[in-house]
Amino acid sequence: MLKKIFLSAAAITAVLFFHGTSRTDTVKKLTLLVQPFSVSGDNAMNWAGKGITDTVVSDLAKIRSINVVTDEDRRRVLREIELSMTGLTEIDENRNIAILTGANLIVTGSCTAAKNNLRVTAKIIQVDTGKILSSIKLDGNIENIFQLQDKIVTSLIEETRKANIEGFVIPALTAEDKNAIASKSTPKILSYELYSKALSIAESDPTGALALCEKAIEADPDYYEVHVLAGWIENLTGKPQIGLARLARAGAILKRRNIQKGLSTAFIDMNKAVIQWSLKRYTECFDSYYEAKTIYENAGMTDSSAFASILIGMGSAKRALGDNKSALDISLKGLQIYEKLGLKETSPYAWALTNTGIIYTMDKDYKTGLKLFNESSSIFKSIGLEKSQGYALTEAQAGYVFLYIKNFDESLKRFLNSVNTASKLNLDIDDNYAWYYWNIAVIYFDKKKEACAALPYINKTVKIFTSTGSGELSGAKEALKHIQGECRK
């Protein structure tokens, strides 16, 4: 048999950022999606929309009576939609993102800027009906922008409370919530402006964003959020060690301020865990997730999608460390939280199912693993994400299961589903996909005795391994040479 059949042990987890809420055993919490605030008027004030959105999401996520879609989850789903759908109106896009993240309410906002003055208009829209429940108008200026943001948050909670949506917890802003919100930075305006501008271009121009972060830190060295953003950008641009150092600086600032056990620290811990995973430092990754988990538990905020994500991340770390029993126990608890929040028909839940299915598969419980992979694939299809990275990776994992139980026809079908989807999206560029292509070649060559059919797939493997500098390249080249010889016969 050609070398070699390989089960990917890569974590298929969403990148993690905030946030959380508290436990209720009778009715579900409302899940809110905050869309980016737009800005009109004075072009020099365009940065304000991004800064306001970031702060509103962060503050709402510290309120225990609601669940909030993290900005990272929103952006990930948006990327999935952009890859799989075209021609959506802004309204349709908003509702699609809300549905895919399990949101019940959408908050949209706009800012009208004139010199230093701001008028903020925010609308609360019920996802299932499309009805505008409330519209809020608030005035302020750049000098009191932080107080304006606080008013936006309290007004949103009050208006959502008034709506009294049947079947959901009525939101409330408690003293504990207010204390958690108060722990955020109130930086110098110049630093905040630079940070907001960096947020706006962090993905499109990371080098430029990092330069803005440096200027923001120079203006206000204790603005810890800038250090966190800079750490995230360093990791994005292939400098994970520097990213960890940036996050350590952010943590040190919180420690000096004596708020190192709050949700802001949990946010830092989650970002650290993602980087540590990429460096294969799985014990440290687990420990960082565990620290975040402890903070959420102490804050009484375990009933949230963010806490579920933490558990899924912990499960992935335990899986990588070879402790499948602990990995499974932890991951199942994460799934239960998603289910309790009513988030079963969402992209994050489908990803979590895939992660958990990998654990079962590595523990040789192929039947249960396949059940979860099939459920995950079905969710991706039902929510219109059959053309997405999540669907492609899940189908590949199902391909491995069928390979192990020697159902080669179904294995081939699933691997082909995976690579065909990824190829159309230009996502088949890493070592995982090289192995998927290799397995297709193995099935065609060894099981179906179709050397020429195997040839283009082993060629893809060699191409990817060449681009990634994989140590498996020599083996792939040997397999390619062998298949070419058989094909010529």
Percent of residues, the chain, with pLDDT higher than 90: 65
* CATH numbers and ranges of domains, the chain: 31-298 (3.40.50.10610), 305-488 (1.25.40.10)
pLDDT tier at 83, thresholds 50, 70, 90: low
What is the distance between the alpha carbons of residues 126 and 319, in angstroms, rounded to a whole number?
Answer: 39
pLDDT given for residue 91 in this prediction: 61
N- to C-terminal Cα distance for the chain?
A: 18
Which of 114-128, 364-378, 437-451 is predicted with the least confidence, judged by mean pLDDT?
114-128
Over the stretch 326-353, which tens digit does the pLDDT of each residue have?
Answer: 999 999 999 999 999 989 999 899 999 9
pLDDT attached to residue 489: 79
Q: CB neighbours of 388 closer than 8 A, spacing ≥ 6?
A: 80, 83, 84, 347, 380, 421, 425
Please tell me which residue, 257 or 335, carries the higher pLDDT value: 335
CB atoms within 10 A of CB 45: 20
The structure's pTM equals: 0.86
Q: How confident is the model at residue 74 (pLDDT cuts 50, 70, 90)?
A: confident
pLDDT at 484 over 70: yes
* 20 — pLDDT class (breaks 50, 70, 90): very low
pLDDT, tens digit, 9 for 90 and up, residues 268-305: 999 999 999 999 999 999 999 999 999 999 988 899 99
- C-alpha distance from residue 343 to each of 20, 336, 351 (Å): 14, 10, 12
